[in-house]
Structure 1
Amino acid sequence: MFDIILTCFGLGEKKKIEEDEMVVFDISRYEENGKPFKVMELPLVAFRNVADFWDPNEQYQLSKLSKKSKATMKLAIKKRPSQLILAPPLKVNFNYSVTGSYHFHQPVYINYGLGNHPRFSPGFLDRCFQTVNDLKDLFNSEFRRIHFFPNHLSWEDLYRIVNWINQDESLPSIPVMTMATIKDNGMFFKILMENLEKNVHNFTIWGMERGQKSLKIRHNFEIKELYVNDTLFLDVDAFTSLKFSRANLRGVDIQSEEINEILMSWKMGRFGEKMELFYAKDIAILHLRAMLIGLEAELRDPRTAKRNILFPDGTPGWLYGGIDVKGANGKTATIWLYSYQSTNEDDPIPEECIQKYENAQRNWNRIAGDDGDPVRDAIFVDTHLTITFD
């Protein structure tokens, strides 16, 4: 046990400090003949002002000295909105919404074992878990995100992390989960998905490539928003194994034939029971014929077909026209092509949109059928593809 000592100079006359009185220390008034005092013995209001000059790392370290110091720090820390991010094995991030991010690094000693899996110091995960719990208690912080680095974790470590998450009663669901790349032909991803027991609101995956063979996954929890980023050769089997409401693909090299496979799987009722949105950004070339073959798609007239929708960013609006595909569950998938989107229900349909629809309608059998070469109107370049389900 030790006391933290601060030396303050030129404090002048002693003044009684009430607990409800704000005290500000002016360092510029300190002089060399000042006397040290024990900061932990300051009245609470004065101590709060001193503690506010320390960053969260310093406040946390002081709270670890003793039960008394922890209790004092909990009373002294000004409660601000904050979030915790668990990013094993390297660190726990603590984010203040205003003042920035602070890192609580864990000591790690790496030895590589069989299969080139990293093996860390035995207690590093326990230290990560303890740090998260301590920060939640000290700062009244919200546990918001878990970030997995498959290349830095063994499967044994992963099982322990998932088990800890499942047992955390203060975390009914996971607000944000991210995973950087799929390794070992997707086995890390498979273990995570098939052992996690809590719903995830926002799940981002960097890299969802096919391995030596496609991956089939069974999981019980649900994903509200799925993001797949920076992926070559999308594993469609893995993608259509997931239970999500909205999917957003960015930097994903997805082909028209793969979109057809996804829609066909949905149409047959094999996946996507609760799917609301599929959005793919910056598809270089979209061959409509390859995407629609076998789906029995119907081209809708934008002048007569109107529906209320949500844009990919969540903004409400209206969709006129589009291409409809009926599913086995009675729902309709609407592809936002040959259509007009507006946030205002009363906007007139642009003449250009009507002309494109009429041109497509005259050639629809050639565009969506299987009896000839694709026509010019069936190829889109540099497009964002949006499909809604209702």
Structure 2
Amino acid sequence: MEEDSWKPWKDEKTAMTQFFIISLNAFMGALGLLITLYNYYNDKKTAEKLLIETANPKSDTQANDKPFKVMDLPLVAFRHVADFWDPNEQYQLSKLSKKSKEIIKSAIKKRPSQLILAVPSRIVLAYSDTESFYFGVPHYQYPLTNEYIPVDHPRFSPEFPDRCFQMVNDLKDLFDSQFKRFAFFPKSLSWEDLYRIVDWINLDESLPNIPAITMNKMKNNGMFLKILLENLEKNVQAFTIRKMERSLKSMKIHHNFEIEDLYVESTQSLDINAFTSLKFSRAYLRGVDIQSEEINEILMSWKMGRFGDKMELFYAEDLAVMDLRIILLGLEAELRDPRTTKRSTILADGTPGWLCGGIDVTGVNGKTATIWLYSYQSTNEDDPIPEECIQKYENAQRNWNRIAGDDGDPVRDAIFVDTHLTITFE
């Protein structure tokens, strides 16, 4: 959006003239407008006259020239016109005055929409996965003209957070929209602004919990994540951390709110200390180069009660190699017979199902972690166990002391290649 579009319009008549230029083409193509006006006035000649006047304004050189007053249209006709404006134009018109805001608000067709606050400089109004509109938050005051223009570093603009909050509230009110996600980009945000944004989130009574948060690039920005988590007071449904890599010094994070679904993505070296200090119900690792030793550390921390009191699921995709001997080291795991051990669970696609067999680890709290290996998953409780699954279990059972032991004797069946790992907790 050009810089001039952010100038406040001081004169309503001038603003109406500019918006007439925007809407003129829409009038010319709106064949249904004549019928709408006719129904409103119940007078065909009056409707035709008004249509001719709106489509053919007088020349600027004429002494009797008058700007077309869009706001003077009847509400039914005005709604027809407003349909041709995109949300950015509707938003700009609503900022002219209280009257224009109420008129445009009543004219907008209400449909489900969501707001994404991409901190620090962008707000997204999303009607669907394919239809989105972007609003830039002006956050730098040019000293010569006192104009606010978008720049890359809002940390240099003391008024930036307040203008951001105002635009979010205006969009929520105008489009009757709800929050979907906060996306944080640490490079362009100061810690001071982060504190203010978190305080604003905590105080927003219309947001009892946060649907989603995305945090980009924890590496070299670990303190940013620590400030965010330790000052936030509302539960989060989905929290995504991209590149949760160990920086120069690993960290522990202490927070009071709870995360339902934690997503860790695109990470080459997972910061286990940070990961095991988070309070979540389900964790999904995608594109994470996690090693067997780190999986063992996660399970051992859970077993000893150091974290994961409310954990229900741990899921990691596309693990190149898993060494079961290393994963189970010190856990006192037990292999379960798929023919006799059957538990209800939620399958990978989210549907209810049954898990037969698996490897169990018991925690100090009496709960059980089940590793979905040497097991069979089914959507039907009465499905027979495939013979292949039984054979794998029996072979593992014969070698279990060597697989789960620490005698230095490698076992081929303890190595899993190119697979995913699911662990459930109950």
TM-score between both structures, scaled by the size of structure 2: 0.84
Q: What is residue 40 of structure 2 aligned with on the other side?
A: 17
Over 3 Å counting, the alpha-carbon distance change for 1:118 and 1:323 in structure 2 is same
* SS of 2:12 mapped into structure 1: coil
Over 3 Å counting, the alpha-carbon distance change for 1:98 and 1:194 in structure 2 is closer
Give the letter for the 2:132 counterpart.
Answer: S
User: Quick one: distance in 2 between partners of 1:365 and 1:203?
Assistant: 40
User: Quick one: distance in 2 between partners of 1:31 and 1:99?
Assistant: 34
* SS of 1:312 mapped into structure 2: coil
Alpha-carbon deviation of 1:12? 7.6
- Identify the match of residue 251 of structure 2 among 215, 218, 228: 215
Give the letter for the 1:297 counterpart.
Answer: A
Q: What is residue 374 of structure 1 aligned with on the other side?
A: 410
Q: What is residue 69 of structure 2 aligned with on the other side?
A: 38
Give the letter for the 1:163 counterpart.
Answer: D
User: Quick one: distance in 2 between partners of 1:311 and 1:64?
Assistant: 50
Alpha-carbon deviation of 1:45? 1.2
1:122 aligns with 2:153: no
1:289 aligns with 2:325: yes
What whole-Å deviation, never above 9, does each CA across 1:116-156 have from its counterpart, x for those lacking one?
x9733222222211111000111110011100001221111
User: Which structure has greater helix proportion?
Assistant: 2
1:206 aligns with 2:245: no
Aligned residues: 379
User: Quick one: distance in 2 between partners of 1:192 and 1:12?
Assistant: 55
What whole-Å deviation, never above 9, does each CA across 1:184-242 have from its counterpart, x for those lacking one?
36111111110000000000000111122221010000000000001111111110000
1:57 aligns with 2:117: no
User: Quick one: distance in 2 between partners of 1:265 and 1:103?
Assistant: 44
Q: What is residue 329 of structure 1 aligned with on the other side?
A: 365
User: Quick one: distance in 2 between partners of 1:358 and 1:15?
Assistant: 83
What whole-Å deviation, never above 9, does each CA across 1:267-325 have from its counterpart, x for those lacking one?
11111010000000001000000000100000001111110001234211111100000
Over 3 Å counting, the alpha-carbon distance change for 1:29 and 1:173 in structure 2 is same
Instruction: Answer with 1 or 2: which has the greater Rg.
Output: 2
Give the letter for the 1:104 counterpart.
Answer: F
* SS of 1:242 mapped into structure 2: coil
Give the letter for the 1:344 counterpart.
Answer: N
Q: What is residue 315 of structure 1 aligned with on the other side?
A: 351
Q: What is residue 75 of structure 1 aligned with on the other side?
A: 106
What whole-Å deviation, never above 9, does each CA across 1:35-72 have from its counterpart, x for those lacking one?
66421111111111111111110100000000000011
Give the letter for the 1:337 counterpart.
Answer: L
Alpha-carbon deviation of 1:348? 1.4
TM-score between both structures, scaled by the size of structure 1: 0.91
1:2 aligns with 2:33: no
Contact 2:154 2:160 survives alignment (8 Å): no
User: Quick one: distance in 2 between partners of 1:118 and 1:68?
Assistant: 32
Say which is worse superposed, 147-156 or 36-45, in terms of deviation.
Answer: 36-45
| Amino-acid identity (%) | 72
Give the letter for the 2:238 counterpart.
Answer: N
User: Quick one: distance in 1 between partners of 2:129 and 2:214?
Assistant: 23
Unaligned runs of 5+ residues in structure 1 are 111-116
Q: What is residue 144 of structure 2 aligned with on the other side?
A: none
* SS of 2:294 mapped into structure 1: helix
User: Quick one: distance in 2 between partners of 1:16 and 1:386?
Assistant: 64
Contact 1:299 1:321 survives alignment (8 Å): yes
Q: What is residue 113 of structure 1 aligned with on the other side?
A: none
Runs of 4+ in 1 over 4 A off after TM superposition: 7-14, 28-36
User: Quick one: distance in 1 between partners of 2:368 and 2:380?
Assistant: 23
Contact 2:265 2:287 survives alignment (8 Å): yes
The CA RMSD measured in Å over matched residues stands at 2.6
User: Quick one: distance in 2 between partners of 1:15 and 1:375?
Assistant: 85
User: Which structure has greater strand proportion?
Assistant: 1
1:144 aligns with 2:180: yes
Alpha-carbon deviation of 1:99? 6.5
Give the letter for the 1:380 counterpart.
Answer: F
1:187 aligns with 2:210: no
Alpha-carbon deviation of 1:30? 9.3
Over 3 Å counting, the alpha-carbon distance change for 1:12 and 1:139 in structure 2 is closer
1:154 aligns with 2:186: no
1:173 aligns with 2:196: no
Over 3 Å counting, the alpha-carbon distance change for 1:326 and 1:64 in structure 2 is same
Q: What is residue 114 of structure 1 aligned with on the other side?
A: none
Alpha-carbon deviation of 1:169? 0.9
